Amino acid sequence: MKVAVVGGGITGLSLSYYLAKEGHQAELFEKEDHLGGLASTFKIEDARIEKFYHHFFSTDEHLIGLILELGLTRNLIWAKSSMGYYTNGKIHPFTSPFDLLSFSPISIWSRVRLGLLSLSSKKIKDWRPLSKISAKDWLIERIGQEAYSVVWEPLLISKFGSEHNSVPAAWVWARLAARAKTRGIMSEKLGYLRGGLDQLFDSMAEGIRARGGKVRLKSPIEDIDSLNDYDRIIFTMAPPLVSDIIKIGKPTRYAGNICVVLKINDPVSGYYWTNIGDPSITFCAIVEQNNAFDDKRYNGKRIIYLSKYTSHDDRLWGLMDEEIIDLFVKDLNKIKPGINYEAAYVFRNKWAQPLISLNYAAPPFEIEKGRIYMVNNAQIYPRDRGINDSISLAKQFAGRYN
C-alpha cells in the first residue's frame, strides 16, 4: 500500500520505518526542516544535543532493539542515575534507599511509607480500577499527607498544574512500576546515545528511503484532500493538531513545555536530575547533562536544562526568550548563588504532555474506517510519553494494520 504518515517525530518516523519494512510505500511528511519533534537536537560547542533533555532505561527494549538493528550500539552509553530533591532551601540526595531514610524534610515514618510505595505498587497487576481514583487520594492513603505534600504534590503540580488533583492514580502507578523494573539494589542505570538522537533519526530515514519510501521535510499538510492519492493516511501529531486538518471529535488537551538550556562553567550540584519541590522556583527540574553523560565535544563546558511544564494560557508563553532566561537564571541563583552563563537557549513545545483526568480514555486509532488513522502519545496511557513507548506503539500499529 501507499501510506502517508504525517508528523516526523519519533512516532511518525518509527512508524514509517516499520511500515517500509513490511513492504509498504511509506511517505513521511514533516512541516519542519528537521526530524525528531520533541527529541530533535541543536548544536552546542562541538556537539549536537537534544533541545529537551532525553535519556532512557535498561528496560526500554524497543528503543535499544532499534539502536542495535541500525548499528548504533557503538554510541550507546550507560551511567548510574543520581537524583536530588530541592526543598526548604536545600538540595537533598534522593537516589538510594539510604538517601530516602535520611530525607529530613519529612518524618521517619513518612520516609518509610514513601519507600514502601514502590514495593506495594509492584503487587498491583490490573491498573484499570486506578483510573477511577485520583492520584492524590491514592497516594495519601499509602504514604500519608506529609509525604504527599512535601514530595508528590509538587511533582504533580509541576507536570499538570492546576489540574493535578484530577490526575488518575493509574498514571502514578505506571511510573512507579516502570522505574521499579530498572532499579538495582542501590540505583538505576540510564542510557544515552552519545552524539545525540539525530543519528537514530537519520538512520531510520535512510532505512525508509532504501525500501522505496520518502521523507519529505518542510512539507506541512493543511487539508486531507491533499492526501487523496494514498491508500492509508496516518496522523502522528498531537490530537489538537490532527483536529486542525480533519475532525476527530473532542481532542485530548495538552500542556506545553519551556526548556532553557544553559552553557556554564561550574556544576549546580553533583546530581544528574534534581526535582524542585519549592513552588517559588519557576522551573520544575534541573538536568545536568555532564553529571551522567559528559562528552569531550562539550569542550569542558557544563550543559544544564531547566524545564517548566505550563498551560498554553500561562503568562510564560507571552514572554520573550530573554525574559524567560532572566527569570530562570534568577531562580537558579536562589538554589546555587553565583551561577553565570556563557550562552542560553530557549525551546518551547505546546504539545509536550497529554493532560489526563479521571476515567481517561485514550483516543481511538481509527478516524475513517480502513483509511485514516491517528497514532500518538495520547494513546500510551497509563504510561507516560517517552521514546521507547512511542516506538512500541508505532511497531504494534504497523504490525496490526499492515
Per-residue pLDDT averaged across 339-361, rounded?
96
Cell 501507499, located at residue? 2
| List of long-range contacts for 127-130, beta carbons under 8 Å, 24+ apart | 127/170, 127/173, 127/174, 127/382, 128/170, 130/168, 130/169, 130/170, 130/173, 130/382
Considering the chain, what is the average pLDDT of its residues?
94
Q: Is residue 186 scored above 70 in pLDDT?
A: no
Question: What's residue 184's pLDDT?
Answer: 53
Span 88-128, pLDDT tens digits = 999 999 998 899 999 999 999 999 999 999 888 888 989 99
Model confidence at 187, in pLDDT bands (50, 70, 90)?
A: low
Annotate 132-172 with DSSP letters as a single string: GSBHHHHHHHHHHHHHIIIIIHHHHHHHHGGGGGG-BHHHH
Determine whether 89 is exposed, middle or buried from the number of CB atoms within 10 Å of its CB (0-12, 13-18, 19+). exposed
Question: What's residue 183's pLDDT?
Answer: 64
The pTM for the full model equals: 0.95
290 CA to centre of own chain:
19
Q: Is residue 133 scored above 70 in pLDDT?
A: yes
Span 6-26, pLDDT tens digits = 999 999 999 999 999 999 999
Per-residue pLDDT averaged across 303-322, rounded?
95
Annotate 95-111 with DSSP letters as a single string: SSHHHHHT-TTS-HHHH
Q: Is the dihedral of CA 138, 129, 385, 226 positive or negative?
A: negative
Question: What's residue 119's pLDDT?
Answer: 83
Span 261-296, pLDDT tens digits = 999 999 999 999 999 999 999 999 999 999 999 999
- What percent of the chain has pLDDT above 70? 98
Pairing of strands 273-276, 83-87: parallel
Annotate 82-97 with DSSP letters as a single string: -EEEEETTEEEE-SSH
Question: What's residue 185's pLDDT?
Answer: 45
Q: Strands across the sheet with 214-216, in order? A: 214-216, 25-29, 2-6, 232-235, 372-374, 366-368
Distance (Å, rounded) from C-alpha 235 to C-alpha 30? 11
Per-residue pLDDT averaged across 308-331, rounded?
96
Cell 519551556, located at residue? 258
Span 75-99, pLDDT tens digits = 999 999 999 999 999 999 999 889 9
Q: Is residue 401 scored above 80 in pLDDT?
A: no
For 382, list phi and psi in degrees, rounded to 5: -85, 0
Tell the CATH superfamily of the 2-66+194-252+359-400 domain. Answer: FAD/NAD(P)-binding domain (3.50.50.60)
Question: What's residue 178's pLDDT?
Answer: 80
Annotate 335-386 with DSSP letters as a single string: HSTT---SEEEEEEEEEEEE---TT--PPPSEEETTTEEE-SGGGSTTSPP-
Distance (Å, rounded) from C-alpha 306 to C-alpha 329? 9
Give CA angle at 388 (61, 94), nearest 5°.
95
Question: What's residue 180's pLDDT?
Answer: 73
| List of long-range contacts for 115-123, beta carbons under 8 Å, 24+ apart | 116/142, 117/142, 117/143, 117/176, 118/176, 118/179, 118/180, 118/183, 119/180, 121/173, 121/176, 121/177, 121/180, 122/177, 122/180
Question: What's residue 277's pLDDT?
Answer: 97
Distance (Å, rounded) from C-alpha 391 to C-alpha 305? 25
Span 220-263, pLDDT tens digits = 999 999 999 999 999 999 999 999 999 998 899 999 999 999 99
Question: What's residue 402's pLDDT?
Answer: 59
Span 50-84, pLDDT tens digits = 999 999 999 999 999 999 999 999 999 999 999 99
Q: Strands across the sheet with 189-193, in order? A: 56-57, 189-193, 76-80
Question: What's residue 121's pLDDT?
Answer: 87
Distance (Å, rounded) from C-alpha 385 to C-alpha 377? 6
The segment(s) of the chain belonging to CATH 3.50.50.60 are 2-66+194-252+359-400
Residues 273, 190: contact at Cβ < 8 Å? no
Q: Pick the residue with more confidence: 188 or 297?
A: 297
* Angle in degrees, 0-180, between the axes of helices 153-160 and 135-147, rounded to the nearest 10: 140
Span 23-47, pLDDT tens digits = 999 999 999 999 999 999 999 999 9
